[in-house]
Amino acid sequence: MIRFFLIGLMSTMISMASLYSVAADNDKAGDLCPDANILSTVIDGMCWSCLLPIRLAGIGGDAPKGAASSKPFCMCADELGVPEWGIPLGFFQPSRIVSFSPTPYCMPSFGVRLADDNTRAGQGRTETAIDDTETSFFHYKYWVYPVMQMIEMFANADCTYDGATTLDLAYFSEADPLYQDDLLAFVMFPETVIFSNPIATSICTADCAQILAGGEVVENYFCAGCSGNLYPMTGNNQYSDDPVRGTSLLTTRLMATLHRRGQAQLTMGNHMIQDSCEPNYAPMLPKTQYRSSMLYPVREASSQPKGGGGSSIPLSTGCCHKLGDSVLKWGNGRLVPGREAFVYLMYSWNDCCLR
């Protein structure tokens, strides 16, 4: 009886010590895990102009490359397979939040740490390679954030394919060993051996030049535009001195990884306004489907980029940017000393049939 009492007492003491450690860690959250105050800035912190263009019945502006054809009507099959007529709608819908932090288990979107990492598993780091090139590492949190459904602004079931209506943590990098190791990532992305080389990187440089000229480059899948090479699909990146560009690259890598795993789908194209009108599996990232807007540390929706892009590079006049767009156009002045966390709101182009 005494033995069981002692065991229970020791378990209680260990639990209290763990809780004290977590509490002490949360007391230091201001330094290690800042709060982006996402929920308190739902309205004024969001880039509303990024929803545009809104194309209804084939009218309303130029849709991104790969979107459904301009048609006045659409036809989808219901649950019984009976065709139903409707009106096609296409727009960029804000639906996900991606946050990055070098601190494990940090959720900068809300200023909370999930747990005290006594094991140092998944610890962020800055390393120096054999050729003296420094690399940095960021952990991510991938949130389902159906903001238009949350504020009851748009809740049409025909255009809400995942059925999400509330905030939810969908995935985080600490639970993904492939994200933390270049060799393990090779298992899911064997094409890394082909695309992760200087030749592919030089092709990506040409892609960046075309993007700076105002074009959209989607042919070279292995490129992340001006952010660099898409491979390897891990949290390691060479932009230790430019975390804005580094996290922009990691955002593209994350979306590519989610598409490969089937956790993100193709929601643009003619298949969305005909036949079953359901998203398709897209193992390769549809780059034109997405836009991104920084929410933290400096919101794109409330500030314009500062000078420094160069006379030949026009600064962005909007409050969101395409995947792979040059940080010289939108990222100047968005790096704040002492704030190592970054939060982005993701917009996805949705083609749907209103019935």
Kindly give, in sequence order, each residue whose CB lies less than 8 Å from that of residue 224, ignoring residues fewer than 6 positions away.
204, 230, 249, 252, 253, 323, 324
What pLDDT, on the 0 to 100 scale, is given for residue 305?
A: 67
121 vs 89, 108, 267, 271, CA distance in Å?
A: 45, 19, 35, 43
DSSP 342-353: EEEEEEEEEEEE
The proportion of the chain whose per-residue pLDDT surpasses 90, expressed as a percent, equals 53
186 vs 172, 177, 181, 191, 300, CA distance in Å?
A: 19, 12, 9, 8, 35
Burial of 224 (0-12, 13-18, 19+ CB in 10 A): buried
Strand intervals (E) in the chain = 55-56, 74-77, 83-101, 106-107, 112-113, 126-128, 134-137, 139-144, 168-172, 236-237, 274-275, 290-296, 321-322, 342-354
Kindly give, in sequence order, each residue whose CB lies less than 8 Å from that of residue 213, ignoring residues fewer than 6 positions away.
none
Confidence of residue 348 (pLDDT cuts 50, 70, 90): very high
Report residue 44 as tokens. 């004024």
Compute φ and ψ for 280, nearest 5 degrees.
-110, 155
Q: Strands across the sheet with 236-237, in order?
A: 126-128, 134-137, 236-237
Q: In the predicted model, what is the mean pLDDT of residues 39-52?
A: 88
Distance CA 271, CA 288 (A): 16
More confident residue, 63 or 161: 63
Residue pLDDT, tens place only, 217-257: 677 889 999 999 999 999 998 888 899 999 999 999 999 99
* Number of CB atoms found within 10 A of residue 331's CB: 25
